[in-house]
Every structure is written in structure tokens, then in C-alpha cells.
């Protein structure tokens, strides 16, 4: 059994933020030169893509949940 539900939006956000950290680490280590403003579009695009992914995932799960759930049957109370 899974400990928690898989969330692709968080995976995408984490990937882009990790990439940003690697870019800054490479700059700090002297492997390459990165201007300070270069990662801003990367972070913004990553957060936008993560939000879009989360919305699509939520819509798919909501649609899947409503199609697989059995139809509710009306309750028939019998008079005593």
C-alpha cells in the first residue's frame, strides 16, 4: 500500500527547482558562468508547468472518480 498519493505537479516543481539549484551550484563551483537573472524564467516556467500539471491531474482524477463510483440508489424508507 502506498504511503501517500502520487502528485505529478509537485514532481514537476521539484524537478525545475532542483535544476535551478544545479545551475547555481555550477556557477558557484566555477564550472560555468550564469547571470543572476537567467534562472528567473526557468523557475517561473517550472511553477507554471507544475500548476498546469496539477490542474490536469485533478481533473482526470475527479472524472475517473465519478465514472467508477457506483450510482447512488435512492433510499426507500418503509413506514413502520
- Give the tens place of pLDDT for each residue, 12-69: 999 999 999 999 999 999 999 999 898 999 999 999 999 999 999 999 988 888 877 6
Q: What is the pLDDT of residue 45?
A: 97
Q: Say what the pTM is.
A: 0.74
| Position 71 pLDDT exceeds 60 | no
Of 14, 9, 53, the closest CA to residue 22 belongs to 14
Q: What one-character DSSP code corresponds to residue 9?
A: H
Q: What is the pLDDT of residue 22?
A: 96
What pLDDT band is residue 70 in, cutting at 50, 70 and 90?
Answer: low
Amino acid at each position: 500500500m502506498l504511503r501517500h498519493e502520487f502528485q505529478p505537479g509537485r514532481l514537476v516543481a521539484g524537478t525545475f527547482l532542483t535544476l535551478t539549484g544545479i545551475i547555481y551550484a555550477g556557477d558557484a563551483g566555477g564550472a560555468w558562468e550564469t547571470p543572476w537573472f537567467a534562472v528567473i524564467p526557468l523557475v517561473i516556467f517550472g511553477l507554471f508547468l507544475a500548476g498546469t500539471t496539477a490542474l490536469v491531474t485533478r481533473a482526470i482524477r475527479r472524472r475517473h472518480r465519478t465514472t467508477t463510483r457506483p450510482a447512488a440508489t435512492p433510499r426507500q424508507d418503509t413506514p413502520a
